[in-house]
Amino acid sequence: MPVCAHILFGYMATIGVYDSGIGGLTTAKIILDRFAGNDLYYLADNLNHPFGSRDEDSLKEVVRNGIKAVRAHSDFTVLACNTASSVTDEKDVFKLLPPIGSCGREASETLILATPRTLSKIKCGDLFKVAETAELATLVEIQASLKCFKNSLDMSELLPYFASKLFKFKGVKNVILGCSHYLYCMPQISKVLGDATFIDGNENLCASLAEHIESKPEKISKIKFEFTSQNEEKKYAKILQILMNKQ
């Protein structure tokens, strides 16, 4: 659990969310559901996307600067990126990380999908099955850009990619999604793997946030987007709207 100097029960908080792109919107959606009425500040570090292919030293500097920028606009900082979370030593941030310990005795029947950088930093042992999907975050970004203004986030075009990457893992019981971008692709992953249970780090992240923030359902959340490169506010607002309307 992160070390936070303040608790804002009874008050509206601004929750800062940081990611390289649209992946963190899946976490932002869950935060807005769980902590309704609190405000959201979203920093998309699209200048440095994708994080997963960067060397560790340069990525640490990128994430350090991102955290500093988010802190300037928010009460709490959420790293909605498993790769960023896995390389930073910052203590007073809420990290999205693959919940490796959640599968227990089913570890040998569990597949982990993550970037090479994330996989290099987590201890998944010899029991878990592992698939590197370094390109996937970028592929999701492209598909979402093409589809979102048609009111769709369908990733069906990526089905051949998943078939080639994941077919040998067909029949696993659990799939740990170690990148927030991957949540967009659960239907396509299911088509290849079968009836698996999806697990990600958002439940743990929200449990930690709940120790500091409470929902304010009587209030309306304000949402602000900022970018380190090209302004993509219309796209991000549209994608978040689609996610919020999806049950």
ω into residue 187 within 30 of 0, thus cis? no
Q: What is the edge-to-edge ordering of all strands in the sheet holding 197-199?
A: 129-132, 110-114, 174-177, 197-199
Instruction: List, run by run, the mean pLDDT of 10-residue segments along the chain (247 residues).
Output: 53 92 98 96 95 87 97 97 94 93 82 90 80 91 97 97 95 94 97 95 96 92 97 98 90
C-alpha to C-alpha distances, 91 to 5, 42, 78, 135, 156, nearest whole angstrom: 11, 20, 11, 29, 38
Domains annotated for the chain, with CATH where assigned, are: 14-96+203-245 (3.40.50.1860), 100-200 (3.40.50.1860)
Under DSSP, is residue 97 helix (H, G, I), strand (E, B) or coil? coil
pLDDT (0 to 100) of residue 2: 55
pLDDT (0 to 100) of residue 27: 98
pLDDT (0 to 100) of residue 1: 44
pLDDT (0 to 100) of residue 6: 62
Residue 154 neighbours by CB distance under 10 Å: 14
Write down the residue that tokens 């290099």 correspond to.
120
Residues 153, 184: contact at Cβ < 8 Å?
yes
Indicate if the alpha-carbon torsion angle 57, 59, 63, 66 is positive or negative. positive
C-alpha to C-alpha distances, 4 to 83, 94, 208, 213, nearest whole angstrom: 22, 9, 10, 11
Backbone angles phi, psi at 8, to 5 degrees: -115, 35
pTM: 0.93
